[in-house]
Structure 1
Amino acid sequence: MALTPDEIDGLRELILAVYGPVTEELLRDLCRCITAAGQISSGDEYKLLLAKSLAGADDVIADTLRRQTDLTDDAVEQLMRWAAEKTAPLEENESLRNIAEAYVKVTRKEVANVLGQLAAADVDGRVYPIKDVYRRTMDYVFREVSSGTKTPEEAVRRATLRLWQRGIRTVDRSDGRTFSVEFMAQRAIMAKMGEMTTAINEKHHDDGGCDGWEISAHSASAPDHEPYQGRQYSDKEYKRLNSRLQRRIGTLSCKHIAWPIKLGVDSPQWTNEQLAEMARENAKGVTYEGRHYTQYEATQQQKALENSIRQCKDRIAAAQEEGKLGSGELRSSRILLRQLNAEYKRFSAAAGLRTAPERLRAAGLGRALRPDGTLEMPRPAGTLTGSGGKLDVEEARKSYSAYLDTLTDAPEKNMVWLRYFTEKNPTEYMEDGTLDAPFAYDPVEDRILYNPRHPQFSTTDFEMANTHELAHRTDVLNAQGYKNKAFVDAISDASKAVLDNAEGFQRVAQAVRSDLMKDILSALSSGRLDTGFGHKAEYWAKNSEAVPLEIFAELFTMETRNDSDLFFVKKLFPGLWKEYQKLF
């Protein structure tokens, strides 16, 4: 067994996403402090603000790193063990388990070093330790504004320009250069993973009496590895080849790996004709908007677009913290993000390349995805609480507003209501320790209730839960689907279809991935289907409006999140989908 090219691609994507939250949170905090510095004209006031901001930065950095380290420790263990199992069954060999365990420990240490060298870019574009950048950028803004050289808008925009362009950085201790935190974490984890899988394969080589190696082959190979892929080498030849390659085979700096063989016994997996055809297809590539790309060059262009999208999201995060000062930047950046996403999809389709979510699915890492294809890294409600476990409403709204910026494929009609209830007519939140759920919408008082003592509260995905409850608010205050005869009748028809073919729909319930879709099937069957998720039968029976209320909220949430399981709704219940679309 060995890691496939798709699996290596998927692992890279997952690691990049694991480190997204730490960079965004620190970037936001920096921009908050910079913006505050632009609002002060008195030197004494500024000294107080600076001292308070630097002390607060210590707390933010420490808290962010603590949470990121916890997340990373879990992610490293899962990913390393997954890669080890892909290379060889660990349960069959204690020494292999020991190798994997040793690499889990050393990789955790490596990524801790990545987090321990945080830096960022100052106004001049040079990189300094992150605490120094707090002071330097705030000093710059205060100096420029108080002297009248620049307006607050100009000074803040200048101070944050390099920040979002270069992102939160980390220092490479080997040469002192700086890279983005996401890239350095990816490089560190993939390098150690490569060493681990190589060590496992070397043990197989020695234990099995092997005398050679075969290098894997894949389409769109980089020019420096293409001449050698798919071929077999003796131990001596392989060692000599790898020693002269700048990017060694097996380090996972590319998608090639090598596995042990017995020369003359193990037949090559690829013929010379197949390898030549791969090279021809790579050279043929694709012509897009008048420019020719080899297959390999197309993959690099796709990565460049992905980097631009990440950078644009950083700009949105910065502009949000600048408030009114960044309102123009926020609008233009949101437009640019939509354009970049559209171009990314067009280019990837033209080049026949998998997009980031598809790379994860191809890697067998689909369980790390939400049903809509975005990474399953929700903001747990427990991270949005302050002292006493109460929901920090201001932080929750900011976090949710930032989440809305990522929903570039959501219908505009949904986004209008979600933004209105988050930013223009903010929803009220109230603690209710008697609530038999983490969250619920109270239509009488028009507010969202939450119970921080509920056993599932701390781990509940706040983004999905809040979208669901705001969907209820949209329904009650606007759509009123539960009062719409055509919508209610369509639900009755769908319910009859489910109950008439309960056995078939039970299979559907097992096939769908989305908890939202599972709840819809639970509602349509009055809880009779075993969906593994959803409200209980007693809930559906307690009042006549429960079913249409919940189905509206689930459809709204699925549509907002571009849930792939909407396919089942449209295919199995076209009448229900049609009437839902008419409601608002």
Structure 2
Amino acid sequence: MLTPEYLESAPEGIVELYSKLDETITRDIVRRLVKTGGVSSTADWQIRRLQESGLLYEDIIRQVSQMTDASEPQVRALFQDAGIESLKYDFSIYEAAGLTPLPRLQSPAAAMVLQAGIQKTQGYLKNLSLTTATTTQQAYINAVTLAEMQVESGAFDYVTAIRNAVRVAAQSGTTVLYPTGHTDKLDVAVRRAVLTGVSQTSAQISERYADDMGCDLVETTAHAGARPSHQIWQGKVFSRSGSGKYPDFKQNTGYGTGAGLCGWNCRHSFFPFFEDLSESAYPRNKIQEYNSHTVTYNDQNVSYYDATQMQRAYERRIRATKRELAGYDEGVKSTDSDELRNVLKEKFNDSSVKLKRQESELKDFLQQTRLDRQREREQVISFGRSPAQSARHAAEQRYQQWVKNIGAKDSAPNSLAKYYKEKYNNSPAYKLLKGYSNAVDNGDISPLVGLKQYTDTAHRVESDILGLTTSTGVEIHSYATHFIDRVIGQVSTPHPGKRCGVSIEDAKDALIHPLKLGDVHNMENGDIRQTLFGKNATVTISIRDERLIQTNPR
């Protein structure tokens, strides 16, 4: 038996090795793209494209050959370790039943299964990797053809066309092509192949020992977050022969099929069970706890399985952005064109900001759900220290420039990390910064106002208006940041086409001593609003939310 925890981590070393191949190929494509030179005649371009694609194909075949040779010792070591690990628990049960199983190295049947599993998985990994040569060659041809068409159409200049081609190549990464036509990222395919190969080989060794020991009954392992189709049989006892009072093993678990026990990405296993001797390792209440386990995210209950799938999606997005960064980094290093280098640097900076946002989103998700972070699943392994440091520096520079541009440099969180901390805690400070930023972007206030004045104005509204009861009997408890925008205004003195601000005193007067009450409006979103007309200002409030919406001078 292999535990779910063992199977979870088993592929990591080999995935790391193939991730290096993934980035090597991505960088190779980008390097060839930026070295193409200007687009001259269509004939010359096509000849160069075909020549380069042929060279790329040969290079990838050579890289795959080197990689598969390097991975063979790791595959063998992993399978041997898994074989030893899987029999530890099984042997303890056989020995408790008074049986004496042969050590694995002395069992010809187990040795044959192990060797067959190693060879099958090594061959599968090689076949998967070799398909990358074809898919990568086609990806290169498609990228260059796209650039050619964009330049010839006159819609894009050469630098923009190559930038677009680099983006497509970097985002695509390295894919494998299955006989069915389905494609997967190389790291995803390798992880699935290794996990499935280890699981199935260990299961077959366990079967051979069960045959030798005359053991008909087996119990499946169980874990939280199992896919729904596996929850129905995890942690239960089955009969391998299908006879007696216990349900049929293969029929009920799908053992031997891709979708069943020990199939694609399955982390379940099984172990010997002897009636009247063994006790179930998984009491019914434990299975119920596993199957009904939920987490909370954004105030919603989410099943543990769905939460793990959400985590995988966050991780995939992070890996994809790191591939983009590696591609842009290679383009910056390889091009001889200063213009193209500057364009690719800008794209590198854009992706750096995106990466920091994605990492912060994942961190917030994990904090809310209390799931464990699995950093190895976020890595594009050879995304080395230098590109990573460059990405962090670029993202931080972008943030500092942004707060400077909106007039918030002295008042906003002083680093990007602190900004994201405020954001995902949804702090009052973040809400005001977001409101201020939107107001500046929309032209509702001048950036010369500064975040400090904006925040000070909000605090005055909180102290002077919140808690106040209007003449209509509504007690005000909150405000929209748009209300702060309107209090400050676009200009301080009348100016054609610009709106003046409203003093807090005039806004209070309109709420307490209105000269006129506007009609009550039922909004499409269910809100109920009314405008109160004072001597010098009007104020619109949400009756349902007891909230200040906006104000205007009269």
Q: Distance in 1 between matches of 2:29 and 2:203?
A: 41
Residue pairs, 1:528-547, within 5 angstroms: none
Higher alpha-carbon deviation: 186-195 or 203-212: 186-195
The 8 Å contact of residues 194 and 252 in structure 1, kept in 2 or not, is answered as no
Give the drift of 1:268: 0.7
Q: Deviations over 1:166-188 (max 9, x none)?
A: 42111112x12211122222222
Q: What residue number does 1:141 align with? A: 147
The 8 Å contact of residues 196 and 266 in structure 2, kept in 1 or not, is answered as no
Q: Deviations over 1:451-486 (max 9, x none)?
A: xxxxxxxxxxxxxxxxxxxxxxxxxxxxxxxxxxxx
2:252 partner amino acid? L
Query: Percent of aligned pairs with the same residue?
Result: 22
- Where 1:19 maps in the other structure, the secondary structure is helix
Q: What residue number does 1:434 align with? A: none
Q: Distance in 2 between matches of 1:106 and 1:317?
A: 32
Change (3 A) 1:4 1:181: same
The 8 Å contact of residues 253 and 260 in structure 2, kept in 1 or not, is answered as yes
Q: Distance in 2 between matches of 1:266 and 1:252?
A: 29
Alignment of 1:217 with 2:222, yes or no, is yes
Residue pairs, 1:126-525, within 5 angstroms: 129-173=135-179, 175-235=180-240, 236=242, 237-243=248-254, 247-251=259-263, 253-280=265-292, 282=293, 285-323=294-332, 324=341, 325-357=343-375, 402-407=384-389
Structure 2 regions of 5+ residues with no counterpart? Answer: 88-102, 243-247, 333-340, 398-554
Q: What residue number does 1:532 align with? A: none
2:327 partner amino acid? A
Q: Distance in 2 between matches of 1:91 and 1:222?
A: 35
Structure 1 regions of 5+ residues with no counterpart? Answer: 120-127, 360-372, 380-398, 417-584
Q: Distance in 2 between matches of 1:220 and 1:311?
A: 25
Give the drift of 1:103: 1.4
Q: Deviations over 1:408-454 (max 9, x none)?
A: 998x69x99xxxxxxxxxxxxxxxxxxxxxxxxxxxxxxxxxxxxxx
Of 112, 115, 118, the match for 2:132:
118
Q: Distance in 2 between matches of 1:156 and 1:289?
A: 41
- Where 2:154 maps in the other structure, the secondary structure is coil
Change (3 A) 1:47 1:240: closer
Give the drift of 1:243: 3.6
The 8 Å contact of residues 169 and 180 in structure 1, kept in 2 or not, is answered as yes
Q: Distance in 2 between matches of 1:142 and 1:8?
A: 47
1:217 partner amino acid? A
The 8 Å contact of residues 107 and 188 in structure 1, kept in 2 or not, is answered as yes
- TM-score normalised per structure 2: 0.60
Give the drift of 1:55: 4.6
Of 118, 121, 131, the match for 1:104:
118
Change (3 A) 1:312 1:108: same
Change (3 A) 1:4 1:357: farther
Q: Distance in 1 between matches of 2:58 and 2:254?
A: 46
Q: Distance in 2 between matches of 1:246 and 1:315?
A: 33
- TM-score normalised per structure 1: 0.57
Structure index of larger Rg? 2
Q: Distance in 1 between matches of 2:286 and 2:139?
A: 54
2:32 partner amino acid? C
- Where 1:293 maps in the other structure, the secondary structure is strand
Higher alpha-carbon deviation: 29-38 or 253-262: 29-38
Q: Distance in 1 between matches of 2:54 and 2:265?
A: 40
Alignment of 1:50 with 2:54, yes or no, is no
Q: Distance in 2 between matches of 1:348 and 1:95?
A: 45
Change (3 A) 1:227 1:27: same
Q: Distance in 2 between matches of 1:62 and 1:189?
A: 21
- Where 2:184 maps in the other structure, the secondary structure is strand
The 8 Å contact of residues 164 and 314 in structure 1, kept in 2 or not, is answered as yes
Q: Distance in 1 between matches of 2:83 and 2:75?
A: 12
The 8 Å contact of residues 22 and 173 in structure 2, kept in 1 or not, is answered as yes
2:104 partner amino acid? L
Give the drift of 1:22: 1.3
Q: Distance in 2 between matches of 1:152 and 1:34?
A: 12
Q: Distance in 1 between matches of 2:155 and 2:259?
A: 50
Q: Distance in 1 between matches of 2:331 and 2:376?
A: 34
- Where 2:228 maps in the other structure, the secondary structure is coil
1:25 partner amino acid? T
The 8 Å contact of residues 329 and 387 in structure 2, kept in 1 or not, is answered as no
Q: Distance in 2 between matches of 1:249 and 1:288?
A: 30
Q: Distance in 1 between matches of 2:315 and 2:308?
A: 11
Q: Deviations over 1:509-544 (max 9, x none)?
A: xxxxxxxxxxxxxxxxxxxxxxxxxxxxxxxxxxxx
Q: Deviations over 1:336-388 (max 9, x none)?
A: 212222322332233222222489xxxxxxxxxxxxx989x7x7xxxxxxxxx
The 8 Å contact of residues 171 and 177 in structure 1, kept in 2 or not, is answered as yes
Q: What residue number does 2:411 align with? A: none
Q: What residue number does 1:464 align with? A: none
Q: Distance in 2 between matches of 1:118 and 1:198?
A: 30
Q: CA RMSD in A?
A: 3.1
Q: Deviations over 1:192-224 (max 9, x none)?
A: 222211211111111111111101111222211
